[in-house]
Amino acid sequence: MPLTLEMDNKANKNSESDSDLQSGNKTGSFAKRALGLATAVSFEIAVMTLSGYYLGRFLDEKFATAPWLMLVCVLVGLAVGFFVVIKTVKRFL
pLDDT digit string (tens) for 38-60?
999 999 999 999 999 999 999 99
Mean of pLDDT over the chain: 82
Between 88 and 18, whose confidence is greater? Answer: 88
Whole-angstrom Cα distance, residue 49 to residue 56? 10
Residue 85, C-beta contacts closer than 8 angstroms, at least 6 positions apart:
41, 44, 45
In this predicted structure, the answer to whether residue 35 has a pLDDT above a threshold of 90 is yes
Quickly state the pLDDT bin for 92 (edges 50, 70, 90): confident
Q: List the end-to-end C-alpha distance of the chain, in Å, as a whole number.
A: 39
Model pTM greater than 0.85?
Answer: no
Between 67 and 24, whose confidence is greater? Answer: 67
- Which whole-number Å values give the CA distances from 33 to 37, 66, 85, in the listed order? 6, 42, 15
